[in-house]
């Protein structure tokens, strides 16, 4: 059972990483223009998101 | 937008934090990567522009210039137009206010609640397994609960912020909305779970608290998205008719200025095709004014120097120079605006369906919980056991289904309406629309198209008259040209504003216009008319009338078939109103009403206990729109009317009105079904909790199960399309 002492922190850390990543996407305005971002991927001279 | 070509546009350049200039425009028609690239490249090529970024979702183009003085909105607009798209300037102050803070908070709360629910579940699933006889000792169970508490408590406290705030605001006003039991439920669940875990008991509900919040936040976020979308769409509509004015300085220079900055005494220029920005007196120039949106009159009025003109009137031909008599907010609209405010106040007293349900639900559930505690204690349970029962009642009768019941239905219904071109301003608007039992229609622009159509004339002379008419913007001339179809324009055509057009047809001097201008006038006429003469021939007369919308009669029939009373309130003259009322089959009509009369008529109907739906487009309807129980305006309506109306239909098809009404009624049935289901569910769950038959696993299943049923029931609206309930 001691294995859960290792597994629990790993599981929690993975969840937290997901949450922090979500927070970062929100802060960097990645949901401001979904239609535009979908279109920009097709453009050659545009190299940054947002 | 012919004024955009002229004048100084510097009022539309905003400041950036680093001292540069920022211009914001609304671009219409851009849909794909090709459009995006073309517009951005075109605008970046303009001198002085450093950065151009188009938001394809909202259509907003943001242009940055490092040097504020080199920022030239006119050139940016020209560049967008050269790429083949229409662009309109945003007022910088209005544009800056648009940032969706509430939405970002909600979605972050949703993310945190999702994280909390999933990870707390990770620790509670072993406990649930233990409930079915698998081996899990009390020590391991307590460890799982502590870990669950570690994740769920901070997440729940963070994610519940929107509910806490709303509940607190509601309690302070002495009322209890749905967020009060939610907040109490969440806090009590956490408290009881902590006490259970401390005493190594089996009944902790940490996962339930945070899952409840996750489900509720989905409903809350949907509701927010709906409102935001409706507001955004309404704002875009208004930007198209952005109130700007061309102000003249002492040296004859022209400056494009937001209408709100005009002060009395300013000299203004109004071009053909523009609206008059403020109440003013004509200094110079002569033209025909279309007052239809202010008074509902279908015939245009000729004005010249010395005449007073009202804000909102449309100049049909010729340029006017005006002296402003009032500020924008003191103009003709002021009296109407005051009436609108009173109407809006009476409307804010409307109690929404969800709050009505909460008013019943909150006391009942809290009484039950109290009864469970007192009864359990009296019947010999320990106080701890009794408190646990009370908490179980609060948790299992969680207002999850109730909280989702209305938003889930309304977002589905509004989504359907959006696709049909109808904007819904709020969920409450849909609820009010479902309750109406009387329909009041404006005539001009609602039953009729609001513009004239050719009704009589000489078919063989029509192509010739149309050649002259094409040179003019006057609505009668345009109607004539439209009736004749495409063709040439007469040579050397010159328009005399307020009189008519003169030109050469087949080398012969010809005229079209007023009787006095052409030389006709022997026929006494009441309606709109144009006279046409070619060479030495006798003048002939073309007559016009404001054409009925083809679907108007069917719409009136539909409303009547639904058992609603239908009535026309018009500002137009008796003959026109009677003709329109008869044509669409409405027996009850009134004519020659001022805006105040219309509002009073709506009030009188309300006093008789009727719930009125008002459909109108003019400034003269705005007060009545605001006072009515529910209101609709076409997308062609004036700004004030669109603001006052609950629903705006952009298709220009009046049939949207009964469709929206039917859908609103269906939405209400679905919402009531959802309430019925929630009540049924609580009727079973509450006693079960009171008798101690609920464990954490059953609570979790019951809670998500009831929310799912409510959601699926709401989606039935979309599956059924727009059929009758």
Q: What interface predicted TM-score (ipTM) does this complex get? A: 0.82
Report pLDDT digits (tens) over B422-467. 878 777 888 899 999 999 998 888 888 877 788 877 778 888 888 8
Per-residue model confidence (pLDDT) at position B725: 37
Rounded CA gap, B183 and B283, in Å? 64
Same-domain pairing of B456 and B531: yes
Chain A contact residues (CB < 8 Å to B): 1, 8, 11-12, 15-16, 18-19, 22-23, 26, 31-36, 39-43, 45-46
- Mutant choice from B29, B98, B111, B207 vs A, greatest count of A C-beta within 10 A: B111
Stretch B603-627: mean pLDDT: 87
Residue at which a domain ends, from B611, B639, B664: B664
Residue at which a domain ends, from B517, B547, B577: B547
Q: Domain of B428: which CATH number?
A: 3.40.50.1000
Cα dihedral B354/B359/B365/B371 (nearest 10): 180
How far is CA B46 from each of CA B20, B39, B64, B73, B564, rounded to the nearest angstrom? 16, 11, 11, 10, 58
Same-domain pairing of B561 and B584: yes
Report pLDDT digits (tens) over B128-185. 777 666 667 778 888 888 989 999 999 999 999 999 998 898 888 877 777 887 888 8
Stretch B103-129: mean pLDDT: 87
Q: CB-based contact (8 Å) between B125 and chain A?
A: no
For B368-406, b/e burial (b = at least 16 CB within 10 A) is bbeebbebbbeeebeeeebbbbbbbbbbbbbbbbbbbbb
Which residues in chain B are contacts of A32 at CB distance < 8 A? 55, 57
Residue B406 domain flag? no
Average pLDDT of chain B?
80
How far is CA B517 from each of CA B83, B510, B532, B548, rounded to the nearest angstrom? 43, 11, 10, 30
- The listed range with the strongest mean pLDDT (B214-218, B301-305, B550-554, B642-646) is B550-554
Per-residue model confidence (pLDDT) at position B708: 83
Residue B715 domain flag? no
Identify the band that residue B380 occupies on the pLDDT scale cut at 50, 70 and 90.
confident
Residue at which a domain ends, from B511, B526, B547: B547
Same-domain pairing of B455 and B318: no
Same-domain pairing of B468 and B436: no
Same-domain pairing of B326 and B445: no
Q: Domain of B536: which CATH number?
A: 3.40.1110.10
Query: Residues 6 or more apart from B425 whose CB is under 8 A from it?
Result: B230, B231, B234, B645, B646, B647, B648
Pick from B386, B366, B368: which is nearest to B377 by CA? B386
Q: Which domain holds residue B252?
A: 241-331
Choosing from B266, B442, B621, B662, the catalytic residue is: B442
Stretch B398-406: mean pLDDT: 72
For B110-134, b/e burial (b = at least 16 CB within 10 A) is bbbbbbbbbbbbbbbebbbebeeee
Identify the band that residue B5 occupies on the pLDDT scale cut at 50, 70 and 90.
very low
Q: How many residues does chain A have?
A: 50
* Bigger pLDDT: B410 vs B4: B410
Per-residue model confidence (pLDDT) at position B444: 81
Per-residue model confidence (pLDDT) at position B91: 62
Same-domain pairing of B297 and B424: no
Identify the band that residue B559 occupies on the pLDDT scale cut at 50, 70 and 90.
very high
Per-residue model confidence (pLDDT) at position B240: 45
Alpha-helical regions (H) of B132-160: 138-159
Same-domain pairing of B506 and B620: no
Stretch A17-45: mean pLDDT: 84
Predicted TM-score (pTM) of the model is: 0.69
Per-residue model confidence (pLDDT) at position A17: 93
Report pLDDT digits (tens) over B175-233. 777 788 788 888 888 888 898 888 887 778 888 888 888 888 887 887 777 666 656 65
Same-domain pairing of B655 and B561: yes
């Amino acid at each position: 059972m001691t294995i859960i002492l290792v597994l629990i922190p790993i599981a929690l850390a993975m969840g937290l990483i997901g949450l922090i990543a979500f927070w970062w996407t929100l802060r960097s305005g990645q949901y401001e223009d979904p239609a535009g971002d979908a279109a920009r991927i097709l453009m050659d001279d545009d190299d940054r998101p947002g | 937008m012919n004024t955009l070509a002229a004048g100084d546009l510097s009022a539309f350049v905003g400041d950036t934090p680093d001292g540069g200039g920022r211009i914001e425009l609304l671009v219409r028609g851009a849909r794909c990567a090709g459009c995006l690239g073309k517009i951005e490249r075109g605008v970046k090529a303009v001198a002085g522009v450093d950065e151009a970024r188009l938001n394809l979702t909202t259509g907003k183009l943001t242009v940055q210039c490092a040097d504020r003085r080199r920022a030239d909105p006119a050139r940016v607009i020209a560049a967008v137009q050269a790429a083949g798209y229409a662009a309109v300037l945003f007022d910088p102050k209005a544009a800056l206010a648009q940032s969706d803070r509430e939405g970002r908070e909600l979605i972050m709360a949703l993310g945190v609640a999702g994280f909390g629910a999933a990870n707390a579940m990770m620790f509670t699933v072993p406990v649930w397994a233990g409930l079915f006889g698998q081996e899990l000792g009390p020590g391991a169970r307590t460890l799982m609960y502590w870990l669950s508490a570690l994740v769920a408590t901070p997440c729940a406290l963070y994610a519940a912020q929107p509910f806490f705030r709303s509940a607190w605001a509601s309690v302070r006003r002495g009322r209890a909305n749905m967020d009060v039991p939610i907040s109490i439920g969440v806090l009590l669940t956490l408290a009881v779970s902590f006490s259970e875990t401390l005493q190594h008991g089996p009944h902790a509900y940490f996962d339930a608290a945070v899952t409840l919040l996750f489900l509720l936040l989905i409903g809350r976020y949907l509701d927010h998205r709906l409102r935001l979308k409706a507001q955004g769409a309404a704002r875009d509509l208004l930007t198209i008719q952005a109130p700007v004015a061309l102000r003249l300085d002492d040296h004859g220079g022209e400056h494009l200025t937001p209408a709100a900055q005009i002060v009395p005494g300013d000299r203004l220029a109004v071009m053909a095709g523009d609206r008059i920005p403020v109440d003013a007196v004509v200094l110079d120039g002569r033209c025909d004014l279309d007052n239809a949106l202010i008074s509902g009159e279908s015939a245009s009025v000729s004005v010249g120097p010395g005449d007073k003109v009202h804000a909102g009137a449309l100049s049909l031909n010729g340029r006017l120079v005006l002296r402003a008599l009032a500020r924008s907010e003191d103009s003709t609209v002021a009296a109407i605006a005051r009436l609108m405010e009173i109407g809006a106040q009476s409307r804010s007293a409307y109690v929404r369906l969800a709050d009505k349900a909460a008013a019943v639900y909150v006391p009942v559930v809290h009484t039950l919980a109290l009864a469970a505690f007192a009864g359990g204690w009296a019947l010999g349970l320990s106080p701890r056991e009794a408190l646990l029962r009370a908490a179980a009642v609060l948790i299992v009768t969680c207002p999850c289904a109730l909280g989702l019941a209305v938003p889930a239905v309304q977002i589905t219904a509004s989504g359907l309406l959006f696709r049909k071109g109808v904007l819904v301003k709020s969920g409450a608007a849909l609820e009010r629309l479902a309750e109406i039992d009387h329909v009041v229609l404006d005539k001009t622009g609602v039953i009729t198209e609001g513009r004239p159509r050719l009704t009589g004339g000489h078919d063989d002379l029509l192509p010739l008259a149309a050649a002259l008419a094409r040179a003019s913007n006057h609505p009668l001339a345009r109607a004539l040209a439209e009736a004749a179809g495409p063709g040439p324009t007469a040579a050397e055509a010159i328009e005399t504003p307020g009189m008519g057009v003169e030109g050469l047809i087949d080398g012969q001097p010809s005229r079209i216009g007023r009787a006095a201008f052409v030389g006709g006038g022997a026929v006494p006429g009441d309606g709109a008319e144009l006279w046409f003469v070619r060479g030495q021939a006798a003048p002939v007369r073309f007559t016009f009338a404001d054409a009925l919308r083809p679907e108007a009669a069917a719409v009136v029939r539909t409303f009547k078939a639904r058992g609603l009373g239908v009535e026309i309130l018009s500002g137009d003259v008796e003959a026109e109103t009677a003709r329109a009322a008869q044509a669409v089959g409405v027996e009850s009509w009134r004519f020659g009403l001022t805006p105040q009369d219309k509002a009073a008529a709506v009030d009188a109907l309300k006093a008789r206990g009727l719930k009125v739906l008002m459909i109108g487009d003019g400034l003269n309807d705005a007060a009545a729109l605001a006072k009515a129980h529910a209101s609709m305006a076409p997308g062609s309506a004036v700004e004030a009317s669109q603001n006052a109306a609950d629903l705006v239909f952009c298709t220009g098809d009046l049939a949207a009105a009964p469709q929206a009404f039917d859908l609103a009624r269906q939405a209400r049935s679905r919402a009531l079904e959802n309430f019925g289901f929630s009540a049924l569910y609580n009727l079973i769950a509450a006693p079960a909790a009171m008798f101690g038959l609920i464990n954490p696993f059953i609570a979790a299943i019951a809670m998500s199960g009831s929310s799912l049923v409510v959601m699926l029931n709401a989606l039935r609206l979309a599956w059924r399309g727009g059929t009758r309930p």
